A and B are shown apart, each in its own frame.
Chain A
Amino acid sequence: AQKITQTQPGMFVQEKEAVTLDCTYDTSDQSYGLFWYKQPSSGEMIFLIYQGSYDEQNATEGRYSLNFQKARKSANLVISASQLGDSAMYFCAMSSSNTGKLIFGQGTTLQVKP
Chain B
Amino acid sequence: DVKVTQSSRYLVKRTGEKVFLECVQDMDHENMFWYRQDPGLGLRLIYFSYDVKMKEKGDIPEGYSVSREKKERFSLILESASTNQTSMYLCASSLGQFPVRGYTFGSGTRLTVV
**A100 partner residues in chain B, CB cutoff 8 A:** 31, 48, 50, 56, 97
Interface flag for A25 (CB, 8 Å): no
**A106 partner residues in chain B, CB cutoff 8 A:** 40-42
Taken together as a complex, chains A and B put the C-alpha atoms of A31 and B96 apart, in Å, by 13
A52-B98, A103-B59 in contact; A91/B42 too (CB < 8 A)? yes
Interface flag for A40 (CB, 8 Å): no
Q: Is the CB of B102 within 8 A of A35?
A: yes
Q: From residue 9 to 52 of chain B, which have CB atoms closer than 8 A to chain A?
A: 31, 33, 35, 40-45, 48, 50
Number of interface residues of B (CB under 8 A): 29
Output the nearest chain B residue to A1 by Cβ-Cβ distance.
B59
Q: From residue 43 to 83 of chain B, which have CB atoms closer than 8 A to chain A?
A: 43-45, 48, 50, 56, 58-59
Output the nearest chain A residue to B107 by Cβ-Cβ distance.
A44
Q: Is the CB of A104 within 8 A of B97?
A: no
Q: Is the CB of B105 within 8 A of A45?
A: yes
Taken together as a complex, chains A and B put the C-alpha atoms of A44 and B98 apart, in Å, by 21
- Interface 1/0 per residue, A16-51 and B, CB below 8 Å: 000000000000000111010100000111011010
Taken together as a complex, chains A and B put the C-alpha atoms of A102 and B42 apart, in Å, by 13
Output the nearest chain B residue to A43 by Cβ-Cβ distance.
B108
Query: In angstroms, how far is the closest chain B Cβ from the Cβ of A93?
Result: 8
Query: In angstroms, how far is the closest chain B Cβ from the Cβ of A70?
Result: 15
